Amino acid sequence: MSATFRIIIVGGGIAGLAAAVALRDKQREITVFEQASQLNEIGAGISLQPNASKIVEDWWGLKDALQQRKSAVDQGARVVYHRQDLQDVLREAATGTDRPGCPVMIRTSSRVISCDVDAGAVTLDDGSTATADLVIAADGIKSKMRRFVLGRDQNAIPTGISAYRFMIPMEELEAIAEFTQFINPRDEYTTMVLCHDHRLVMGPVRKGEAYSVVALVPDETLHEDSSSTSWTSHGEKSKMLGSFSDLPEWLLKPFRNVSSLGLWQLRDLEPLETWINGRCILIGDAAHAMLPTQGQGASQAIEDAEALSAFFQDIQCRPSPHDVHCRLQDAFASRHDRATLIQQYSRQQAKPATEKDSVKIKMDPEEFTSFNYTYNGAKDWLSKVQSKVQRSNNA
Ligand SMILES: Cc1cc2nc3c(=O)[nH]c(=O)nc-3n(C[C@H](O)[C@H](O)[C@H](O)COP(=O)(O)OP(=O)(O)OC[C@H]3O[C@@H](n4cnc5c(N)ncnc54)[C@H](O)[C@@H]3O)c2cc1C
């Protein structure tokens, strides 16, 4: 029997690639199955907060690769990347030959349609199967793998808000004097514009090469169908301009030349009772899709990946099913309460659209920022949680 520890990752988004980077090691054969024909992220900015940027930049050693591309914003230690840049850096770190451990194999055009969680076997849509000691389900908010872990379907819930996202080349924007007299697009901060119940969140990315805009609209004033939950669904410019027609012309003018427009209906998941079953674990949006109000979705996916690497660190050759399951239980115990709280807080911040059913988290934004940022990895977090439980049991 081979001594190699075999790992399958379903999904090559930020969660899947982060897990590939984190788990890469000698004696490990890691395969990522990605349904798309190539790994492409959409044209938009994504911010990583210190809890995650520390892991990616310092612990995984990707700071230089990221710094060549990033545009830091002046909001504490938050860093904004172009999504494609973050994905490229993670992919190169997973598959490159210049890092320790066996390079990860990424198989594109490979859609997984089912999983036997006890056997660690996945079936692809071409009928082929693959088996591994550990299966990581990182297949996003519309996860197909979730039903095999939970034994039932659970889908994400629409929140009543949709988001357009697009990029404007910086040179083009700087030529619009009406805009630049109010906003210097090269200033490294995030600008938010509120207009009734519409919201624009904008800022520079790629060292000021482009300006990223996310435009949030309540569904009832959206002029188009937003039922798709894919990042890659397209919006229509005339309809987007119609939704934002109350904005002043100096703000709308740069939007009139936009060539490619994405549209995303914001959804989140109810917290799941478990993320693990047999040899399989859900991570990222598949486990805890959350609203972007705290900008923590990808950061939480990165924390998941770090947790897996921490709890599987001592496994240097093929583990037994029992070993795998015990480590998955530890990873889950370290992650579930924290990710769930951030998920619920993100929902609470989206009031009033989701106010009705939300769980109230009694933290002010400052406490919450500190909770988010002062994170030192899954093992440290779990030991703090366990000590707290011990103290309260002793009291
Ligand atoms: C408007 C908006 C703004 C946001 N801004 C931020 C931010 O600033 N900071 C932040 O941290 N987070 C942000 N987020 C959240 C963040 O984008 C997500 O949490 C993150 O991208 C989730 O990554 P993922 O890998 O789990 O899922 P995804 O990125 O959805 O990746 C899943 C991958 O799995 C593949 N896949 C799906 N099904 C299968 C299958 N059956 N077989 C094989 N492959 C499959 C998909 O093709 C995809 O490549 C934002 C979200 C929104 C909506």
- Assess whether the C-beta atom of 138 lies below 6 angstroms from ligand 1: yes
Arithmetic mean of pLDDT over the chain: 89
Phi and psi of 28, rounded to 5°? Answer: -125, 130
Residues 6+ apart with CB under 8 A from 394: none
- What pLDDT is recorded for position 98? 92
Task: Kindly indicate the confidence band of residue 52, based on its pLDDT and cuts at 50, 70 and 90.
Answer: very high
Residue 53 near ligand 1, beta carbon < 6 Å:
no
Confidence of residue 83 (pLDDT cuts 50, 70, 90): confident
Whether residue 15 has its Cβ less than 6 Å from ligand 1: yes
Averaged over 165-174, what is the pLDDT?
Answer: 93
CB of 295 shorter than 6 A to ligand 1: yes
Question: At how many degrees (to 10) do helices 378-394 and 297-311 cross?
Answer: 80
pLDDT at 316 over 50: yes
Q: 74-83, 160-169, 281-290, 362-371 — which is least confidently predicted?
A: 74-83
State how far the Cα of 289 lies from the Cα of 239, in Å rounded to an integer.
27
Bigger pLDDT: 394 or 179? 179
Residues 267-302 have pLDDT tens digits of 899 999 999 999 999 999 999 999 888 889 999 999
Question: First and final CA of the chain: distance in angstroms?
Answer: 51
- Which residue, among 105, 130, 104, 110, has the nearest Cα to 119 in the 3D structure? 130
Read off the pLDDT band of 2 (50, 70, 90): low
Give me the pLDDT at residue 353, please: 44
Locate the ligand 1 atom nearest the alpha carbon of residue 299 and give its number: 11
Domains in the chain with CATH codes: 5-154+270-382 (3.50.50.60), 158-267 (3.30.9.30)
Token pair for residue 32? 């990522």
Contact 211, 75 (CB under 8 A): no
Does the beta carbon of 262 lie inside 6 Å of ligand 1?
no
The whole-number pLDDT of residue 208 equals 85
Higher pLDDT, 78 or 374: 374
The Cα–Cα gap between 307 and 338 comes to: 12
More confident residue, 99 or 293: 99
- At residue 224 the predicted structure's pLDDT band, cuts being 50, 70 and 90, is low
pLDDT digits (tens, 9 = 90+) for 122-169: 999 999 999 999 999 999 999 999 999 999 999 998 888 888 989 999
> pLDDT confidence of 76, banded at 50, 70, 90?
low
What atom of ligand 1 comes closest to residue 47's alpha carbon? 8
State how far the Cα of 389 lies from the Cα of 266, in Å rounded to an integer.
Answer: 35
> Would the CB of 23 count as within 6 Å of ligand 1?
no
Q: Are 165 and 44 in contact (CB under 8 A)?
A: yes
The three-class DSSP label of residue 322 is: helix
78/334: higher pLDDT = 334
Distance 156 CA to ligand 1 centre (A): 13
Ligand 1 pocket member 298 (CB < 6 A): yes
Question: Of ligand 1's atoms, which has the minimum distance to the CA of residue 49?
Answer: 11
112-116 sheet: strands from edge to edge: 112-116, 121-124, 129-131
The pLDDT score that the predictor gives to residue 262 is 85
Query: Which of the four pLDDT bands, split at 50, 70 and 90, describes residue 356?
Result: low
Q: What percent of the chain has pLDDT over 90?
A: 60
Question: Which one of 34, 136, 166, 232 would you pick to mutate in the ligand 1 pocket, going by the greatest count of ligand atoms within 8 A of its CB?
Answer: 34
Q: Which atom of ligand 1 is nearest to the CA of 113?
A: 41
Residue among 35, 63, 221 nearest 137 (CA) = 35
Res 228 pLDDT > 80:
no
